[in-house]
Homo-oligomer: A and B are copies of this chain.
């Protein structure tokens, strides 16, 4: 994960991060008190959202609400996506990786 713009740049509201998941890999299955807005740049895979595994690919946009369990899985080409998060958590304090 790379923070492309974030709190260390003085960004006051949200951070733009880039993720690369290698072929067959996945992100943690988890939920947290802040949302994601995701844009798939390259590759394909699936996202677990609202209890369903859905196919995703280049150009897709995924909104993950706060407190919603989610997980991203890369297909055979890997998966690269942007993920925007607020710099402050809904329940206070800095968002990790912002």
Contacts and interface: CB of A to CB of B under 8 A. Distances in A.
A40 to B, nearest CB: 11
The copy count of this chain in the complex is 2
A12 B90 contact: yes
Interface stretch (A3-11, A23-31, A43-51, A71-79): A3-11
Q: Is the interface of A mostly helix, strand, loop or mixed?
A: strand
Interface string A45-67: 00000000000000001010110
Interface of A: 4-5, 9-14, 16, 35, 37, 39, 41, 61, 63, 65-66, 82, 84, 86, 90
- 5 closest A-B pairs by beta carbon, nearest first, are A13-B86, A14-B14, A4-B61, A16-B37, A5-B63
